């Protein structure tokens, strides 16, 4: 198997970082070598120096870059991830939203939704919320991995996606599929739509509707500070005043922006875009 020199790793990191923000850290070198080895072989390239030049300069480089991104970016996700935060969302954020929304429609964005478990979880939690009965819920999941989006649209999952669900949740929200797999029930699938979006593309994000809530969990951790700042700026543009931003438990906005206020709810800390009165 070809080995990556430190310089080749740096050049590959640069290509990936400017394409999607992902920082290929030094300690991921072996993983990158292993996952990309079949691509070198398929393309008949002898080493990673040639591979990164292929990504940059070959007419098919853009296509290959999408494959490399699919192979290298972590897509780990599962239903009902971070239950404490989800309880806060259900018990404290939704009632506030229901009280001050204009009309009876809520727009929710799962940014970096991977294979769909997060936006479907939100559909399950919101669809059954007593204060949202009769509301129009528009839940959008976006990702830059076409592979992840195609799994999301298919809405069929194996046991690992269900690792944090209870038997009651499995019975209520899923139908049995073949080979021990499950399928999201049509009612919960229907209100979720998916779209391709690179979070670095601020102009693309501006085409989305104004959001009441943005979930962006376990995505910013893979970016450098400057990229985080840009992505969070795009979130602040997309979020309506008084709307909420929920990040992963190891993520925060310290020293990134002053556009959000930190709100201490009884179960968790969340970010809110302040109202300008
Ligand atoms: C670890 S998963 C997190 C999934 C889900 N939010 C969760 O917390 O369970 C990170 C996702 O972010 C996506 N991602 C990474 N960089 C992105 C970018 N620049 N634009 C859009 N999606 C991106 C990856 O493709 C991956 O599906």
Quick check: 132 and 94 in contact, CB under 8 A? yes
How far is ligand 1, taken at its centre, from the CA of residue 173, in Å?
24
How far is ligand 1, taken at its centre, from the CA of residue 117, in Å?
12
How far is ligand 1, taken at its centre, from the CA of residue 114, in Å?
5
- Dist. CA 91–CA 97, nearest whole Å: 11
* Ligand 1 atom 5: residue of nearest CA: 113
Residue 57 binned pLDDT confidence (cut-offs 50, 70, 90) = very high
- Dist. CA 84–CA 176, nearest whole Å: 27
How far is ligand 1, taken at its centre, from the CA of residue 276, in Å?
31
Confidence (pLDDT) at 103: 87
How far is ligand 1, taken at its centre, from the CA of residue 261, in Å?
24
pLDDT in tens, 191-230: 999 999 999 999 999 999 999 999 999 999 999 999 999 9
Long-range CB pairs of 230-234, under 8 A, 24+ apart, other chains included: 230/200, 230/202, 231/21, 231/199, 231/200, 232/256, 232/257, 232/259, 232/260, 233/202, 233/257, 233/259, 234/199, 234/202, 234/205, 234/206
Only one residue has tokens 């779209």, namely 195
Residue 4 has pLDDT above 80, yes or no: yes
- Dist. CA 29–CA 36, nearest whole Å: 10
pLDDT in tens, 123-133: 999 999 999 99
The residue to mutate among 17, 85, 118, 144, having the most atoms of ligand 1 within 8 angstroms of its beta carbon, is: 144
- Dist. CA 14–CA 277, nearest whole Å: 43
Residue 100 parent element (H or E): helix 94-100
Give the CATH number of domain 83-272. Answer: 3.40.50.150
| Domain segments of the chain as ranges | 6-72, 83-272
* Ligand 1 atom 14: residue of nearest CA: 112
pLDDT in tens, 228-242: 999 999 999 999 999
Q: Which CATH architecture has domain 6-72?
A: Orthogonal Bundle (1.10)
Enumerate residues lining ligand 1, CB below 6 A: 20-22, 73-77, 81, 112-114, 118, 143-145, 148, 198-200, 217-219, 248
């Amino acid at each position: 198997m070809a080995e990556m020199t430190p310089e080749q790793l740096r050049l590959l990191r640069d290509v990936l970082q400017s394409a999607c923000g992902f920082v290929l850290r030094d300690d991921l070198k072996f993983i990158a070598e292993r996952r990309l080895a079949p691509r070198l072989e398929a393309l008949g390239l002898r080493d990673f120096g040639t591979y990164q030049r292929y990504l940059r300069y070959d007419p098919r480089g853009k296509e290959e870059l999408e494959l490399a991104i699919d192979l290298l970016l972590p897509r780990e996700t599962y239903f009902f991830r971070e239950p404490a935060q989800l309880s806060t969302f259900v018990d404290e954020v939704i009632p506030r939203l229901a009280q001050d929304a204009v009309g009876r429609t809520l727009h929710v964005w799962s940014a970096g939704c991977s294979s769909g478990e997060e936006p479907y979880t939100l559909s399950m939690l919101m669809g059954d919320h007593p204060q949202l009965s009769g509301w129009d819920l528009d839940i959008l999941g976006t990702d830059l991995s076409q592979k992840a989006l195609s799994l999301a649209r298919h809405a069929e999952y194996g046991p690992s996606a269900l690792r944090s669900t209870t038997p009651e949740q499995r019975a209520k929200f899923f139908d049995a599929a073949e080979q021990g797999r499950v399928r999201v029930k049509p009612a919960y699938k229907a209100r979720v739509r998916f779209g391709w979006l690179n979070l670095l593309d601020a102009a693309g994000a501006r085409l989305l509707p104004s959001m009441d809530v943005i979930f962006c969990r376990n995505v910013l951790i893979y970016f450098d500070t400057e990229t985080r700042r840009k992505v969070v700026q795009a979130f602040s543009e997309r979020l309506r005043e008084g709307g909420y931003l929920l990040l992963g438990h190891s993520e925060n906005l310290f020293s990134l922006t002053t556009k959000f206020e930190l709100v201490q709810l009884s179960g968790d800390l969340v970010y809110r875009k302040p109202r300008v009165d």
